[in-house]
Amino acid sequence: MNINRLFIANRGEIALRIIRTCRQLGIETVLGVSAADQDSVPARMADHTVLLGPAPASQSYLDVERVVAAAKLSAADALHPGYGFLSENAALAEACALQGIIFVGPTPPQLMAIGDKLRAREAALAAGLPLITGAAVATAAAALALATELGLPVLLKAVAGGGGRGMKVVRTLEEVPALFELASAEAQASFGSARLYLERYVEHGRHIEVQVLGDGMEVIHLGTRDCSIQRRYQKLVEEAPAPNLPDSLRSAIETAGVTFARHLAYRGAGTIEFLLDCARGDFYFLEMNARIQVEHPVTEQITGIDLVAQQIRIAEGRPLGLQQHEVRFSGHSIECRLNAEDPMQEFRPSPGRITLAQFAAGAAVRVDSHIETGAVVPPYYDSLLGKLIVHGVDRATALASLQQALALCRIEGVSTNLALLQRIAAEAAFGEGGITTSFLPALLARGE
C-alpha cells in the first residue's frame, strides 16, 4: 500500500527531517503538535497540523490515545513516531493497527521483545551473540550478592528503558543499597517499571553500533557508528564508520548485528548497540533500538541512503530496494549534538528565546535543526537544538571541517554546549580516533 498522507507523532528536528523526505517523495504530512509547538518551524513546514494537547509531553506526545485519535481524524494512511516519546511503544503500534493506520516501524511483538532488556538479552543469547555477565535483581540484597559474585565495578540499569535513566555505576559494596533504591526510583519515574538489571561494568569501553534495515525477510547493514563520547550515558558526538577498528573486528560486529536482526525477522530501520571492551578486545551485545536514531545522518552521509525514505518504503510493504553488496561506503562523517544546556552547571537545561541562530554552510556541512533566530526553546522537552554533521573523504578532512563549522556556529539567548563541542573537536585524543567512554568524564574533570 502506498502512503499518501503521513502523520508525524513527534517534534523538533526529527519532525522537520521527516517532513523534508516526505516532500521529496510527494507524501502529504500532518504534524501532531503540543500547545508549545504550534508556532514552531516544523509546524509551519508541515502541510497540516493537529493539536494533540497541552505542552507537557504526558498530555500530548506521550498520550497514545490522543496521538492515534489525531492521526485517525486527519485521515492519515500511516504514522511515523520519530525517535524518543512513543517511538518504541508497542501499544502505539497496536493501536495504529486497530485503526487501520500503518505504523512506520517494527511489529508490536518485535517492539515488545526489544524494548525489555531481559527479553532482548534472551533473544541475543538465542541468536548466539556475546553478552556481558549479569542478571536481573529484584532486591537490594540480590544486587549486593551478585555484585559480590561478579566483582566491582558493576552497573545497575533499568530493564524497561535506556538513555541513562535508572543507570548507576557501583564501585563499592557499601553503596549498593542506596544506588539500588535510587536507580529503582528513576526507572519507575521514567519508564513505569522499577525493575533493574546488574552486570559487570566495563571501565574502558567503546560504544559501537550497527545500522540495519530489514523488510521482514531480508536484513542488510549500513556499517558501524562510534558513539563513545557520552555524558551521563547521553550521546554527544557520533561518527561513521567507527574509527580505528581492525577489519576483522568490524566485520564481526556488523555480522553480529545482522544475525540478531535476522533472528527477529526484523522489519524497519534499527540499530544494534555493542560494547567493545578495549582491555580484552571482546565485544558484547547491549541493546537494540527499534527506530530511527538521532545519529542516523552520519550513516546517510557515508552511504548516500535516505533512512527515512527506507523506513517508509518498508512500511509500505515493499522489499528492500538494495542488497548488501550494493551498499557503498564513502569517506567519513562526524555529528555533534547541539544542546540548550549549561555544561558549567551540571548540564542544566536552558530554555528560553533564541536571539541569534547562525550555522556554518557548505558542501561538507549538513545542519539538522528546527531552531531559528526568535524561536523559543520550551522547558518541557529534550534540550536538543540540532545536529551539526560534516563529511569528508577521510576522517582527518571531516575533523578539519567539523572544527571550522563549530567555530562559525553562534547560538545566543540560551546557554549551549557549543564551547564544549569545540573543545572536544580540538583534543588530540579525539583527533587520533578510537577514544573510550571515559574520555569525556576525564575531559570534564580537568576543568580547563
Instruction: Please give the Cα distance from 171 to 260 (Å, whole number).
Output: 32
Cβ pair 385, 340 in contact under 8 A: yes
Instruction: State the Rg of the chain over Cα.
Output: 21
Q: To 5 degrees, how large is the angle CA 113–CA 80–CA 69? A: 95
Q: To 5 degrees, how large is the angle CA 391–CA 393–CA 396? A: 80
Instruction: Please give the Cα distance from 135 to 255 (Å, whole number).
Output: 25
Instruction: Please give the Cα distance from 115 to 108 (Å, whole number).
Output: 10
Cell numbers describing residue 224: 558501524
Q: Is 381 left (phi over 0), alpha (psi -120 to 50) or beta?
A: beta
* 64-73 and 90-98 helices, crossing angle to 10°: 30
Instruction: Please give the Cα distance from 442 to 445 (Å, whole number).
Output: 5
Cell numbers describing residue 339: 544542546
* 90-98 and 108-115 helices, crossing angle to 10°: 170
Q: To 5 degrees, how large is the angle CA 197–CA 202–CA 206? A: 110
Give per-residue burial for 20-31: e unless 16+ CB within 10 Å, then b: ebbeebebbbbb
- Catalytic residue (one of 291, 313, 337, 366): 291
To the query of whether residue 262 is one of the catalytic residues in this protein, the response is: no
Count of all residues that appear for the chain in the document: 448
Q: Is 98 left (phi over 0), alpha (psi -120 to 50) or beta?
A: alpha
Cβ pair 110, 132 in contact under 8 A: no
Catalytic residue ranges: 291
